[in-house]
Amino acid sequence: MRRSVTIFLVATVVILGFAVHSVWTLLSLLVIDGREDIISRAELPAPNSGAISDRPQLIPKIIHQTYINESLPEHWKGPQKSCLDLHTDYEYKLWTDKKSREFIAAEYPWFLETFDGYKYPIQRADAIRYFVLHHFGGIYIDLDDGCNRSLDPLLAYPAWVRKTNPTGISNDAMGSVPRHPFFLKAIDSLPEYNRHWMLPYITVMASTGPLFLSIIWRHYNHASPEGDDRVRILFPDEYNNHPWSFFTHHVGNSWHRNDVKLIFWMAQHWVSVTLVGFTIGFALLYCIYTTFIAPRQSSSGPRSKFAYSRIPFYRRISSKSFELADRHQV
Ligand SMILES: *[C@@H]1O[C@H](CO)[C@@H](O)[C@H](O)[C@H]1NC(C)=O
């Protein structure tokens, strides 16, 4: 095979390998659904069962929520009240911006710089929930989630999160004992994941939000935690929309922006988006090949041989590989 073709093929394989490697955790999220850690309906007592009080209660009875300040908007008072009414024996903590910052400054000062530096307030609202679960334990509930039944049965699992479709886990309802290793890993990883992506939505998702937590969850499970260290998973039917579900989900995400529509569209059409991405990638490679490599090949003699080894050729390939890798990591 001609040398330039070999170089071209090797470069293609390297670029593809790099692209696949950089999105490997994301790809694995598509096939791994956490079913081995499911909190199955069979092991949950019915909503009014007498068995509820017989179960061990490992998680402390605390409900955590977050908002800017104490004056909650009307549309969230209903869901909040449904949780308060069902859990009169629970402590309730509303983490306002002010209280959150004071808490981080007092208990986790190493994180204060990152916390203050977040560009979007929702990043602080995301981060604070991992810290309060790590510190106090309890159950965190988003303000747009109401309660449909007592959460007592969920106190029996040292740590749990909920599954999202089609992939990953969410951070809108989570429970944990204090100092669970999963939430330790989450808070420990936050500074490293504090990166900017092109779109605000992706920046939020990947630095502190559900995408961040899903990636941490994959890495955490990779080390095969056992027993109480495992993170149990609440599947959609136990989360929402069924008589036995623990929560009722209300619309009203306050922070969604214009780029959300694009992201949701891309998530729904991820197969086509991936195909188009790779097609564009290959088209680019083909253009490089026909423009820079093929012409040199057709001219013969020692001059063209000299041309292959000129440095700019390698530079061009490697700058492309960075572009591809960046785009696919998103
Ligand atoms: C709470 O925050 C909201 C939204 O920013 C604002 O409109 C309201 O005035 C604040 N309330 C108080 C008591 O500061």
Mean pLDDT of 245-274: 68
The overall average pLDDT reported for the chain is 84
Q: Is 185 helix (H, G, I), strand (E, B) or coil?
A: helix
Res 6: pLDDT: 86
Ligand 1 atom nearest residue 69's Cα? 1
**Residue identifier of the C-alpha nearest atom 14 of ligand 1:** 69
Q: How far is ligand 1, taken at its centre, from the CA of residue 197, in Å?
A: 30
| Token duo for residue 73 | 């908007």
Instruction: Give the pTM.
Output: 0.77
Q: Which residues line ligand 1 (CB under 6 A)?
A: 68-69, 71
C-alpha 249 – ligand 1 centre gap (Å): 24
- Given CATH 3.90.550, say whether it is the number of domain 35-259: yes
Tokens coding 259 = 């780029």
Give the model confidence (pLDDT) of 169-216 as tens digits. Answer: 999 999 999 999 999 999 999 999 999 888 888 889 899 999 999 999
Distance 71 CA to ligand 1 centre (A): 6
- State the Cα–Cα distance between residues 285 and 276, nearest whole angstrom: 14
Quote the pLDDT of residue 290.
Answer: 84
SS (H, E, C) 53-110: HHCCCCCCCEEEEECCCCCCCHHHHHHHHHHHHHCCCCEEEEECHHHHHHHHHHHCHH
The domain limits of the chain are: 1-31, 35-259, 273-329
247 and 47 in contact (C-beta within 8 Å)? no
Tell me which residue has its CA closest to atom 1 in ligand 1: 69
More confident residue, 56 or 253: 56
Q: Beta-carbon neighbour count of residue 292 at 10 Å?
A: 16
Q: Which two tokens stand for residue 198?
A: 């092109």
Count the neighbouring beta carbons within 10 Å of the beta carbon of residue 137.
Answer: 23
Whole-angstrom distance, CA of residue 234 vs CA of residue 282 = 41
Task: Encode pLDDT of 55-98 as tens digits.
Answer: 889 999 999 999 999 999 999 999 999 999 999 999 999 999 99
Structure tokens at 134: 């790590």
